[in-house]
């Protein structure tokens, strides 16, 4: 441990740690502020929290009531046995027969060339995620139907546009492309609806947090959370400005970042879709708004690095987990006010432990040789080099380095197609949201704009569609009684799959510590 050159990391940590602390404080406070509105007023389904709570014992009980349900054990043992059989096939492939967990329709690709041209080939070989199928049973039908159909619709539209030479996806994740602005417009539309539906509550919270009277009672811990959010946000913007980013860009960057965290947290609370990737990076979006010549290489690389470090995986950030945890505490009748201080203590301890251990493991075992972390770390520099070459070819490189402050607005050259894509997505998201509020049998939900045709949508879409179909058939032919009776079976499926995923981790750890050899990996 002492061989790690900790002193060399001090300047780097002096910049990043305060930023991380402010971001953690701000997003954690937002989770507390949104909690009551989402849980009590809007009554979002929170399928992951409902599943976790069903396993916990009630007051005066030794175990959860679901463990006394036969249907639960049937579902749990079924999934556990399937996954254990497939895992053991890694060791004895000549003895056991694996249960195939994917569907194979690639021969149909010749019948749907537009879908294939729209990068929808993955949809013809979908993996069945039983956890997703079970989660779809607990969420509104329009959400699961939207999640299941939108990848096909989007890929078909993308393929049609590609036939006319209009490419929605080009370059890496930090490139300025139409697809990123479609996602951004969808996120922005969802955020507008989030604020609109809870506008009365949020206004009252804001009024109380600045010392004004409110029309309804607001809990003290929510008031303090809002104050912490405002202070942490100001500190975050200030640090970015001191680091060399104009305060105007710092403010815009921060707003886009918070939009991402809010919409991702909201999506997980509504859908239980636990795998949400990064399709929006504020740096790339700001380039599309201003143009590279109005920003300059220094501002561009700084925003790119911030995005790579802080926004590489918003679905696994603290805010979505806290949103789920607060719902679980609420269902368990734990006082949120008393829980709040432990939230910040836990986050502080996590930061103190994770930072030095991550640095130590990278020196001890080396950095990842491939995968998303490796790719993401190279994107900022690849994109910057390409941008600098473009500016140099246009003869505007030196001029871009001299622009600053409000002068960037005078030098703005927005990317027209990207801005158009943004407003189209905003309009569609608001239109879908309005239709859902006004029409009883409206089939779509704005959450589709969090996934569209991204990798996660293609990966989980068919499973959501199967879950929607199962729920529809149960409701149609069995009614409410059969629907309620089937819930323990679905909870069992979730529990069985989670337990089966845990066993290879434990076995692999034991194998590694005993033999020193890499264990057999299992992906299902």
pLDDT (tens digit, 9 = 90+) per residue, 174-200? 888 888 899 999 999 999 999 998 999
Does the pLDDT at position 522 exceed 80? no
C-alpha angle 148-149-152 in degrees, rounded to nearest 5: 115
Angstrom CA distances, 20 to 41, 247, 323, stand at 31, 18, 19
Which tokens in the block code for residue 212? 């004004």
Mean pLDDT of 86-107: 86
pLDDT for 255 equals 95
Q: What percent of the chain has pLDDT over 90?
A: 35
- How far apart (Å, rounded) are the C-alpha atoms in residues 318 and 309? 14
* Residue pair 72/492 in contact by the 8 Å Cβ criterion: yes
pLDDT for 326 equals 93
Cβ neighbours around 156 below 10 Å, total: 18
By three-state DSSP, how is residue 192 classified?
Answer: helix
Residue 102 β-bridge partners: 127
In this prediction, residue 508 has a pLDDT band, given cuts at 50, 70 and 90, of confident
Q: Taking the C-alpha atoms of 441, 446, 452 and 457 in order, what is their torsion angle to the nearest 10 degrees?
A: -70
Angstrom CA distances, 11 to 14, 17, 285, stand at 5, 10, 29
Helix, strand, coil content of the chain in percent (nearest 5): 75, 0, 25
Angstrom CA distances, 404 to 145, 298, 401, 414, 468, stand at 47, 11, 8, 17, 52
Does the pLDDT at position 120 exceed 90? no
- How far apart (Å, rounded) are the C-alpha atoms in residues 121 and 489? 32
pTM tops 0.95, yes or no: no
Please, is 13 exposed, middle or buried when counting C-beta atoms within 10 Å of its C-beta (0-12, 13-18, 19+)? middle
In this prediction, residue 204 has a pLDDT band, given cuts at 50, 70 and 90, of very high
pLDDT digits (tens, 9 = 90+) for 44-78: 889 889 888 888 887 777 777 788 889 999 999 99
Q: Taking the C-alpha atoms of 293, 296, 299 and 301 in order, what is their torsion angle to the nearest 10 degrees?
A: 100
* Residue pair 288/13 in contact by the 8 Å Cβ criterion: no
* Residue pair 126/462 in contact by the 8 Å Cβ criterion: yes
pLDDT for 524 equals 66
- How far apart (Å, rounded) are the C-alpha atoms in residues 79 and 523? 14
pLDDT for 433 equals 86
- How far apart (Å, rounded) are the C-alpha atoms in residues 249 and 202? 26
Does the pLDDT at position 519 exceed 80? no
The size of the chain, in residues, is 524
Mean pLDDT of 460-480: 90
By three-state DSSP, how is residue 445 classified?
Answer: coil
Mean pLDDT of 471-484: 89
Q: How far is CA 159 from its chain centroid?
A: 26
pLDDT for 383 equals 87
- How far apart (Å, rounded) are the C-alpha atoms in residues 388 and 102? 44
Give 67's DSSP letter.
G
Cβ neighbours around 412 below 10 Å, total: 13
Q: Which residue, 198, 141, 184, is CA-closest to 425?
A: 184
In this prediction, residue 249 has a pLDDT band, given cuts at 50, 70 and 90, of very high
Give 334's DSSP letter.
-
Which are the contacts of 391, defined by CB distance < 8 A and separation ≥ 6? 292, 293, 297, 397, 400
């Amino acid at each position: 441990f002492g061989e790690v050159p900790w002193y060399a990391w001090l300047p780097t940590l002096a910049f990043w740690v305060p930023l991380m602390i402010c971001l953690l404080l701000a997003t954690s406070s937002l989770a507390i502020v949104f909690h009551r509105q989402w849980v009590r007023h809007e009554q979002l389904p929170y399928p992951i929290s409902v599943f976790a709570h069903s396993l916990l014992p009630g007051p005066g009980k030794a175990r959860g009531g679901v463990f006394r349900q036969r249907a639960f054990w049937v579902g749990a043992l079924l999934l556990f046995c399937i996954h254990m059989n497939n895992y053991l096939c890694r060791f004895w492939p000549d003895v056991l027969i694996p249960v195939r967990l994917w569907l194979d329709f690639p021969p149909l690709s010749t019948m749907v060339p537009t879908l294939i041209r729209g990068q929808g080939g993955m949809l013809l070989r979908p993996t069945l995620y039983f956890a997703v199928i079970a989660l779809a049973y607990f969420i509104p039908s329009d959400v699961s139907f939207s999640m299941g159909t939108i990848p096909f619709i989007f890929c078909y539209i993308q393929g049609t546009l590609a036939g006319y030479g209009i490419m929605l996806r080009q370059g890496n994740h930090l490139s300025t492309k139409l697809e990123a602005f479609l996602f951004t417009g969808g996120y922005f539309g969802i955020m507008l609806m989030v604020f609109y539906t809870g506008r009365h509550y949020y206004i009252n919270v804001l009024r109380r947090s600045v010392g004004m009277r409110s029309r309804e009672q607001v809990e003290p811990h929510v008031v303090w959370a809002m104050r912490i959010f405002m202070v942490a946000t100001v500190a975050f913007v200030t640090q970015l400005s001191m680091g060399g980013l104009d305060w105007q860009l710092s403010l815009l960057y921060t707003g886009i970042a918070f939009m991402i965290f809010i919409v991702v947290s909201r999506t997980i609370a509504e859908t239980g879709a636990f795998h949400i990737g990064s399709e929006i990076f504020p740096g790339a979006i700001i380039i599309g708004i201003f143009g590279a010549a109005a920003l300059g290489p220094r501002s561009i690389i700084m925003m790119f690095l911030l995005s790579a470090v802080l926004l590489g995986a918003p679905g696994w950030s603290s805010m979505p987990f806290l949103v789920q945890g607060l719902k679980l505490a609420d269902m368990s009748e734990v006082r949120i006010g008393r829980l709040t201080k432990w939230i910040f203590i836990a986050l502080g301890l996590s930061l103190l432990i994770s930072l030095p251990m991550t640095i130590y493991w990278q020196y001890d075992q080396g950095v990842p040789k491939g995968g998303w972390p490796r790719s993401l770390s190279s994107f900022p520099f690849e994109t910057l080099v390409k941008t600098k070459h473009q500016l140099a070819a246009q003869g505007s490189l030196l001029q871009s380095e001299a622009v600053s402050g409000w002068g960037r607005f005078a030098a703005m050259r927005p990317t027209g197609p990207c801005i158009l894509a943004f407003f189209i997505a905003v309009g569609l998201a608001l239109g879908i949201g309005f239709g859902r509020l006004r029409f009883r049998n409206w089939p779509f939900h704005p959450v589709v704009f969090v996934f569209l045709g991204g990798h996660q949508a293609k990966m989980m879409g068919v499973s959501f569609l199967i879950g929607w179909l199962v729920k529809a058939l149960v409701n149609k032919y069995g009614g409410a009684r059969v629907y309620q009776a089937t819930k323990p079976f679905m909870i069992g499926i979730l529990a069985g799959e989670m337990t089966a995923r845990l066993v290879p981790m434990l076995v692999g750890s034991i194998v590694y510590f005993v033999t020193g050899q890499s264990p057999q990996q299992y992906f299902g």
